[in-house]
Chain A
Amino acid sequence: MSKNQAFDRRAFLKTAAAVAGVASLPNFAFAQGAKIRIGMMLPYTGTYAQLGVAITNGFKLAVAESGGKLGGREIEYFTVDDESDPSKATDNANKLVTRDKVDVLIGTVHSGVEMGIVKVVRESGTLHINPNAGAGAATGALCAPNIFRTSFTNWQPAYPMGKVLADRGIKKVVTLTWKYGAGEEAIEGFKEGFTKAGGTVVKELYLPFPSVEFQPLLTEIASIKPDAVFVFFAGGGGIKLIKDWKAAGLKGKIGLFGSGFLTDGILEALGDEAEGIETTLHYGDGIETPKNKTFRLNYAKTYKLQPDVYAVQGYDAGLLLAAGLKAVKGDMSKKKELYAAMENVKIDSPRGAWTMSKAHNPIQDIYLRKVVGKENKVTGVAHKALSDPARGCKMG
């Protein structure tokens, strides 16, 4: 062997030391540079598709306002269309958690689907932010440190309407909704508030989800002649009910009230059929705070659409995640600190500032709104800083 090819021990040792040094750098240095994997599990088809899109838009707007990064890290999105189908819920959630290994799961709209997600994330420990589904159990009996909600429980917006109606001297009410989790919980909330304030729910009417054959039930309501009717419907079902209500001649004869979802996001599709309908919700049109005005302007500019309560909830999910990741500087392995930051957050939301309850549900103001033209005009606050009772939750 010639001298040039001689094995230079020093050069070798130097290189080996350098390689060993690089290899032993703590792992999170790689993780820090790595993108945050965010799973979006929402309905992009079917009766709630519009809501899925609005939530996604709101979330991405919050991320964009935070510079496109959360906790200093870039984002990679993984999307699954859950079709609002509870039977496919666990499979879809597993697609994101097991196959795509997401760090956060954002979803969903339908309460039945949400229960599937809750089951999966309780086992996997994946951080889960719920930007809509109001199933009480998610922050109730099945609450968990890694589950957060930025929307409402089905009970929450319905409960204050009870006192509102009782205060107006309304004594007999008939309720009507789809027979599924969200509908039943909303009616329960209204019933609790209404009976507490001295009213009586004379009959509870249900139809199977997502049937919209209201005719026999409207006939029944007309024969009972209650003082008012309280309903829970959303999306296409809400449009149909309001139209059928008018076609059956009940508009103006019996008061129609609802949880705000009845009239949210659908006023464009209606003419004057919805005029005057009053609802309670944690958002409405005409909230004159600077935050809301800026939000609405930015949303309309970015998406050429008017935002609704679903967009606000998606936006707040983005704010919540941003706040949490900022506190841990993007290091998602620091779970305790991350969850603590998210629990103690005060969200400066377009709906008004709100805080997180011990069960990880918003403590927020519920507004009374009335349909005026194509808007749900806020006419007052039905209940200040209302917190869901979180029955069965063992946290905090």
Chain B
Amino acid sequence: MDANTFLIQVLNGIQYGLLLFLVASGLTLILGIMGIINLAHGTFYMVGAYLAFSLSQYFGSLWLAMAGGVVIAVAIGLALEWLLISRLYHRDHLYQVLLTYGLILIFEELRSVVFGDDVHGVAVPEALRASIPLTETLSYPVYRLWMSAVCLALAAGMYLLIQKTRLGMTIRAGSANREMVQSLGININLLYRLVFALGVALAAFAGMIAAPVASVFPGMGNQVLIVCFVVVVIGGIGSVKGAMLAAILIGLVDTFGSVLTFRIGGVQLLPELSGMMIYLLMAAVLLARPEGLFGRRG
């Protein structure tokens, strides 16, 4: 592989990783701050993609669709938290798994009833349709670069929110000791509601911006969910920093795994086993550091 190709593959890996980060960040926030295992996270990603598909047809523009979609996603997040999730804070993780798994099934059926079961495409917006020539044969789609920029901007925004604002401080305190924060007079219930809605909105937004490159199809949420959990496990539960590092790592491993050829003895390991690479990575990290790269010990 020559230097040029290597760099472009690195770009591919990082771009894929940034998108993974965007989806997984919501999951790690909800898990780390609220202690809720949200299996329906991949479903919210799918909801975002389908919202992008239907609203862009309704509005005629993907931008308006995204704006509308985020509003709808936040509303869904607030409603779900208020109705269902808030009743599970003091319960065992198993109840959360059961409830959120039920949500997956419900949303899949709703999706089937409302949107049908076909595979759909979402058009890339006019303004981002160009490609930048990188080598004499290969060009890079501007849309993917834009996606990466958006992910980075949101990552920065999240960092600022959680580390540098009063609200972020309260959220961090609430995750350490919920009762104490409540006895200090802060409305922890409203806070948790906002965090959950933020998590849902992040997942849905990721689905919306990924829709033009990934297609919109039934079951897309389940594939993404598994990778999200791998990101969260490798990065450490509750750590946004860890999620970023893990996501980039996974993006690179997945990308290079699918194009490198590697054999031991007579056995062709890559690219035949490329589908397994990220799970092997997760196993390796867990063996070396069980709490993840940036997870809290104990």
Contacts and interface: CB of A to CB of B under 8 A. Distances in A.
Contacts of A44: 117
Given A247-B141, A248-B139, A205 B4 contact: no
A248 B134 CA distance: 9
17 contacts: A45-B118, A46-B117, A47-B217, A206-B272, A213-B16, A215-B12, A216-B12, A216-B255, A217-B259, A218-B138, A223-B1, A223-B5, A236-B215, A247-B131, A249-B139, A253-B136, A254-B137
A248 B271 contact: no
Contacts of B221: none
Contact of B214 (A205, A212, A222): A212
Contacts of B121: 236, 239-240, 243, 269
B13 interface: yes
A207 B138 contact: no
A333 interface: no
Nearest to B256: A216
A230 B46 CA distance: 32
The 10 tightest CB contacts between A and B, nearest first, are A249-B139, A45-B117, A222-B138, A223-B5, A236-B119, A247-B141, A222-B137, A216-B255, A220-B259, A208-B275
Interface string A234-250: 01100110011001111
Interface residues of A, number: 35
A195 interface: no
B298 interface: no
Contact of A222 (B131, B135, B215): B135
Contact of B5 (A50, A222, A253, A269): A222
Contact of A235 (B119, B135, B218, B275): B119
A223 B141 CA distance: 17
A49 interface: yes
Interface residues of B, number: 39
B118 A250 contact: no
A249 B133 CA distance: 7
B30 to A, nearest CB: 26
Contacts of A254: 137
A334 interface: no
B105 to A, nearest CB: 15
Contacts of B12: 215-216, 219
A212 B215 contact: yes
B2 interface: yes
Contacts of B275: 179, 208
Nearest to B15: A215
Given A216-B12, A220-B5, A223-B4, A248 B215 contact: no
Interface of B: 1-2, 4-5, 8-9, 12-13, 15-16, 112, 117-119, 121, 131, 133, 135-141, 143-144, 214-215, 217-219, 255-256, 258-259, 271-272, 274-275
A267 to B, nearest CB: 14
A207 B258 contact: yes
Given A46-B217, A216-B255, A218-B138, 7 more contacts: A45-B112, A49-B117, A49-B118, A215-B144, A220-B259, A250-B138, A253-B136
B250 to A, nearest CB: 13
Given A216-B12, A247-B131, A223 B2 contact: yes
B206 to A, nearest CB: 15
B280 to A, nearest CB: 15
B191 to A, nearest CB: 37
A205 B270 CA distance: 11
Given A46-B119, A47-B217, A216-B258, A250 B271 contact: no
A248 B13 CA distance: 16
Nearest to A206: B271
A50 B118 contact: yes
Contacts of A213: 16, 214
Interface string A160-191: 00000000000000000001000000000000
Contacts of B5: 219-220, 222-223
B137 A249 contact: yes
A196 interface: no
A250 B215 contact: no
Contacts of B141: 244, 247-248
A207 to B, nearest CB: 6
A225 B112 CA distance: 43
A240 B259 contact: no
A236 B117 CA distance: 13
Contact of A253 (B119, B137, B143): B137
Nearest to A240: B215
A208 B2 CA distance: 25
A269 B143 CA distance: 20
Contacts of A248: 131, 138-141
Find the residue from B1, B8, B131 having the highest chain A CB count within 10 A. B8
Contacts of B139: 247-249
B8 A219 contact: yes
